[in-house]
Amino acid sequence: MNSIKLQPYIEYNEAEILALYSSVGWTAYTAEPEKLRLGFENSLFTLGAYENDKLVGLIRAVGDGQTIVFIQDILVFPEHQRRGIGSLLLQSILERYAHVRQIELATDNTEKTTAFYKSLGFAPMAELGCCAFMRLKY
């Protein structure tokens, strides 16, 4: 992990972003690259994880940064997963927005993702007396 460096992702590089999203199968994003670029431009904060100056992971937050932050995307190239990079990215966002009462995310409902987020202090909304709704446009 010593070779992983986190830094704000400021200059959008379409080739590396599309490669990252494609590598984890997020084709709904890669199918509309212009919308993805605009999404990045309108994000609250984006943080990249780099190994030897190469992007290996990324987290993107949206929201107002004071009352709510939503973790929109957290991705790590498959060959770099299970090395703590995702945890490092998420912990960095949690520290940056420690003053924010409500930090949310939506993810796949699998044992692996549930265990990952629970290990970092997240709880299913139902356990907090809340429910979530989503409307997807296909």
Average pLDDT of the residues in 39-66: 97
- The predicted model scores a pTM of 0.91
| 63/128 Cα distance (integer angstroms) | 20
User: Which structural domain, as residue segments, surrounds residue 69?
Assistant: 4-128
How confident is residue 108, by pLDDT bands cut at 50, 70 and 90?
Answer: confident
When pLDDT is cut at 50, 70 and 90, the band that residue 58 belongs to is very high
Which pair of structure tokens corresponds to residue 15? 């080739």
Kindly indicate the confidence band of residue 2, based on its pLDDT and cuts at 50, 70 and 90: low
Report in angstroms the alpha-carbon separations of 46 from 10, 43, 74, 123, 128.
7, 7, 10, 23, 27
- Furthest CA-CA distance within the chain: 44
Domain count, the chain: 1
DSSP state of 130: -
Q: What is the pLDDT of residue 115?
A: 92
What per-residue confidence (pLDDT) applies to 1?
Answer: 54
Question: 116 lies in a domain?
Answer: yes
Residue 34 and residue 58: Cα distance in Å, rounded? 18
Which pLDDT value is given to residue 136? 85
Report the CATH number that the domain containing residue 112 is assigned in CATH: 3.40.630.30
In DSSP terms, 59 is beta-bridged to: 47, 74
How far apart are alpha carbons 55 and 63 in whole angstroms? 24
Domain contains 134: no
Record the tokens describing residue 21, joined without a space: 């999203």
138: in domain:
no
Return all residues near 19 (Cβ < 8 A) that are at least 6 apart.
Answer: none
Mean pLDDT of 61-70: 97
Cα 29 to chain centroid distance, Å, stands at 13
